[in-house]
C-alpha cells in the first residue's frame, strides 16, 4: 500500500471516529426516565391522516369481530360476519370520527410495535418506520382498530383523567424504563379546555423525560402529525402547569396547548386496558347475548351511547334536572351516572367536534340542540346506540339561535 493511500484511509478512519463520537455524545441532556423509543425509528414514517387520503380502509366486520367477538354478528355467511344493526351503526360512527385523523391508533400501535417484539415479528419488521401506509390495507385497518379502543367502555374506565401535571410527570417517571413491559406503557391525550369542555383532542406517545432546569421538565413525545421529529411537552413543577406546541392534525398550524393543576386536560390511556379483555365486552349488544367471563374486566353499567355530528351545542337532561353537555356556553356534567368520552380526533369539517356521551340505560332523557353559536344554517346528526338497538335522526337543519329538542325513550324503542 503506498503512503498517500494509507494516509487517506487513516484520515477517513479519524473522520468516522469523530462522527461516531459526536453522534453518541451530542445529547448531553439530563434524562431522568427513558423507555428507549425513538420517533425516527419507532414512530411511523408517514403522518397522521384523515379522509383526505382516498381509498383508506378503516373498521370492517373483521375488526368489529376482533374487538367484540361474534356477538356483533347477526349471521355468518361464507365465513363473513353480517353485523347486527347496532354494531354496523357503531362501526359507521367510529369510522366517521376517523375522518379528522387517526392519531389515537397511530400512537397506540407504534408503542405496541416497539414494546412487543412478537407483534413486530408478525408484521415482519424491526421498527414501525419500515411500514408504509398507502400500500398496506391491513395496516390501515389495524390503525383503525386501535383508534376505536378509546371508545370502549372498559378502556375508558381505566384511563387516568384526574391527575395534575406534576402527578402525570411523577407517574411517567416511574413507568418510562427500558425494561418496561407492554402493559406498563401509556399514551397521552392532550386537549384544550374551553368553557369547561375538552376540545382539539390529540394523542401522542411519551417515551422519555429530561430535566431542563429551573423546575422545568420535558416529556419527550412522538407526535404522529410530525414524523421522525422529537417534540416536548413541558411541565413546570413549581407552577404545576404544562404546555405543548402542536395541533390536532398536520394540516393545521401549530398552537399552544396549556393546562394547570385544575384543568385536568391531560389523559393517560394504559396499553394494558387496550389488551384485556380480549375480546372486549360489547356495550351495545343485548345483555343475554354476552358470554360472561368472570376473569374479564367489563363495564359494570350499561349505557346508551350518543353520537353527534355538527357544530351545534348539545345538552342532555334527565327528568330531575341533571345535565351533561353545553348549557349557556358552559360545559356541565351533573347527570348521575352519565359520562362523556372526548374523542382524540379533529373533525376537519367542523369547528367544534362533539364527544361521545354515555347515558345509563333505563334513564329517559331529552337532547337539546342549540344553534346559539352558529353563524349559518347547519345540518346535525344525532344517533343513540344501546344494548341491541340503535336509533338516529339525520340532517336536522338548525338555524343560528334556533333550539330543537329530541326526547328519547330509555329502551331505544322511540
Residue 195 reports pLDDT greater than 90: no
Per-residue model confidence (pLDDT) at position 23: 47
Q: Choose the final residue of a domain: 235, 259, 274.
A: 274
Per-residue model confidence (pLDDT) at position 292: 43
C-alpha cell at 206: 411519551
Average pLDDT over residues 13-41: 73
Domain count, the chain: 3
- d(C-alpha 155, C-alpha 152), whole Å: 5
Write the DSSP assignment of 113-165 as a string of letters.
HHH-HHHHHHTT-SSGGG--STT-HHHHHHHHHHHHGGGSHHHHTT-B-S--H
Determine, yes or no, domain membership for 1. no
User: Are 346 and 100 within 8 A, CB to CB?
Assistant: yes
pLDDT in tens, 376-390: 998 999 999 999 999
Residues 173 and 142 in one domain: no
Looking up cell 462522527 gives: 19
The CA–CA distances, whole Å, from 146 to 98, 111, 140 equal 11, 11, 10
Percent of the chain with pLDDT over 70: 88
Query: What phi-psi label fits residue 388: left (phi over 0), alpha (psi between -120 and 50 degrees) or beta?
Result: left
- Name the DSSP class of 135: T
Residues 84 and 108 in one domain: yes
Residues 171 and 122 in one domain: no
User: If we measure between CA atoms, which residue out of 189, 222, 193 comes closest to residue 104?
Assistant: 189
Q: Choose the final residue of a domain: 256, 274, 292.
A: 274
- d(C-alpha 358, C-alpha 217), whole Å: 36
Residues 211 and 261 in one domain: yes
Burial 247-275 (b: 16+ CB within 10 A, else e): bbbbbeeeeebebbeebbbbbbbbbbbbe
Residue 294 reports pLDDT greater than 90: no
Residue 155 reports pLDDT greater than 70: yes
Per-residue model confidence (pLDDT) at position 22: 47
Average pLDDT over residues 31-44: 97
Determine, yes or no, domain membership for 351. yes
Q: Which domain holds residue 185?
A: 165-274
Determine, yes or no, domain membership for 19. no
Residues 46 and 148 in one domain: yes
Task: Kindly indicate the confidence band of residue 89, based on its pLDDT and cuts at 50, 70 and 90.
Answer: very high
Q: Choose the final residue of a domain: 92, 125, 152.
A: 152
Per-residue model confidence (pLDDT) at position 154: 93
Residue 183 reports pLDDT greater than 80: yes
Determine, yes or no, domain membership for 4. no
Residues 47 and 148 in one domain: yes
Higher pLDDT, 296 or 258: 258
Determine, yes or no, domain membership for 186. yes
Determine, yes or no, domain membership for 111. yes
Q: What is the pTM of this model?
A: 0.88
Residues 110 and 205 in one domain: no
pLDDT in tens, 239-283: 999 999 998 888 888 999 999 999 999 999 999 999 999 999 998
pLDDT in tens, 93-141: 999 999 889 999 999 999 999 999 999 999 999 999 999 999 899 999 9
Determine, yes or no, domain membership for 296. no
Determine, yes or no, domain membership for 130. yes
User: Are 313 and 372 within 8 A, CB to CB?
Assistant: yes
> Coil, helix or strand for 16?
helix
- Name the DSSP class of 203: E
Average pLDDT over all residues of the chain? 88
Residues 350 and 379 in one domain: yes
Amino acid at each position: 500500500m503506498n503512503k498517500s493511500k494509507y494516509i487517506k484511509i487513516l484520515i477517513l478512519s479519524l473522520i468516522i471516529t469523530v462522527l461516531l463520537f459526536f453522534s453518541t455524545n451530542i445529547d448531553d441532556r439530563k434524562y431522568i426516565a427513558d423507555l428507549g423509543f425513538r420517533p425516527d425509528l419507532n414512530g411511523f414514517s408517514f403522518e397522521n391522516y384523515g379522509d383526505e387520503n382516498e381509498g383508506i380502509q378503516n373498521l370492517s366486520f373483521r375488526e368489529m369481530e376482533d374487538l367484540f367477538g361474534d356477538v356483533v354478528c347477526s349471521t355468518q355467511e361464507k365465513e363473513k360476519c353480517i353485523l347486527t344493526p347496532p354494531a354496523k351503526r357503531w362501526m359507521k360512527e367510529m369510522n366517521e370520527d376517523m375522518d379528522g385523523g387517526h392519531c389515537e391508533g397511530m400512537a397506540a400501535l407504534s408503542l405496541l410495535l416497539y414494546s412487543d417484539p412478537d407483534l413486530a415479528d408478525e408484521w415482519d419488521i424491526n421498527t414501525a418506520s419500515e411500514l408504509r401506509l398507502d400500500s398496506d390495507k391491513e395496516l390501515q385497518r389495524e390503525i383503525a382498530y386501535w383508534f376505536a379502543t378509546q371508545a370502549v367502555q372498559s378502556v375508558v374506565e381505566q384511563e387516568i383523567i384526574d391527575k395534575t401535571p406534576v402527578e402525570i410527570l411523577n407517574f411517567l417517571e416511574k413507568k418510562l424504563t427500558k425494561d418496561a413491559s407492554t402493559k406498563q406503557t401509556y399514551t397521552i391525550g392532550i386537549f384544550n379546555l374551553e368553557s369547561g369542555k375538552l376540545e382539539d383532542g390529540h394523542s401522542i406517545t411519551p417515551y422519555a423525560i429530561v430535566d431542563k432546569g429551573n423546575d422545568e421538565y420535558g416529556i419527550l413525545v412522538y407526535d404522529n402529525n410530525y414524523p421522525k421529529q422529537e417534540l416536548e411537552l413541558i411541565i413546570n413543577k413549581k407552577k404545576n402547569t404544562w404546555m405543548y406546541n402542536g395541533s390536532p392534525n398536520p394540516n393545521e398550524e401549530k398552537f399552544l396547548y396549556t393546562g394547570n393543576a385544575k384543568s385536568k386536560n391531560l389523559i393517560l390511556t394504559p396499553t394494558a386496558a387496550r389488551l384485556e379483555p380480549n375480546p372486549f365486552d360489547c356495550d351495545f349488544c343485548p345483555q343475554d347475548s354476552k358470554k360472561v367471563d368472570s376473569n374479564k374486566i367489563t363495564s359494570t353499567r350499561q349505557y346508551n351511547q350518543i353520537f353527534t355530528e355538527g357544530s351545534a351545542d348539545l345538552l342532555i337532561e334527565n327528568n330531575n334536572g341533571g345535565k351533561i353537555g353545553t348549557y349557556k356556553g358552559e360545559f356541565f356534567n351533573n347527570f348521575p351516572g352519565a359520562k362523556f368520552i372526548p374523542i382524540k380526533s379533529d373533525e376537519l369539517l367542523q369547528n367544534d367536534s362533539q364527544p361521545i356521551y354515555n347515558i345509563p340505560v333505563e334513564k329517559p332523557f331529552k337532547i337539546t340542540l342549540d344553534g346559539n353559536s352558529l353563524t349559518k344554517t347547519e345540518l346535525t346528526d344525532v344517533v343513540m346506540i344501546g344494548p341491541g338497538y340503535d336509533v338516529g335522526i339525520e340532517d336536522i337543519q338548525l338555524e343560528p339561535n334556533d333550539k330543537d329538542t329530541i326526547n328519547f325513550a330509555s329502551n331505544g324503542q322511540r
